[in-house]
Amino acid sequence: MTANELSRLALELPLEHRLDLARRLIASVNEPAAARAEVKEAISRIEDVATGRVAGVTEEQYRAAVR
């Protein structure tokens, strides 16, 4: 199975299963010790938006904010 096929199947999973899969994939990568806190924070923020705890912004809102 190719990565594209696997990605397509993974994206069909329910949200909670996709988040669990994302956690497992990230945990399987040996990131440098200095980056672990940043990776955990990024995962937490992605989960906040994905689960609706935090409202995301549109691309337009993002671009306006970084100008």
- Condensed to tens digits (0 to 9), the pLDDT of residues 33-56 reads 767 788 888 888 888 988 899 988
What is the number of structural domains in the chain? 1
Task: Provide the 3-class DSSP secondary structure of residue 12.
Answer: coil
CA atoms within 13 A on the CB side of 12: 6
Q: Would the pLDDT of 64 be above 80?
A: yes
Q: What distance in Å separates the CA atoms of residue 27 and residue 60, rounded to the nearest whole number?
A: 32
Q: Would the pLDDT of 25 be above 90?
A: no
Show the domain range for 20.
3-66
32's tokens: 């440098």
Q: How many residues does the chain have?
A: 67
Mean pLDDT, the chain, integer: 87
Q: What distance in Å separates the CA atoms of residue 40 and residue 19, rounded to the nearest whole number?
A: 13
Tokens 């909670």, residue located: 16
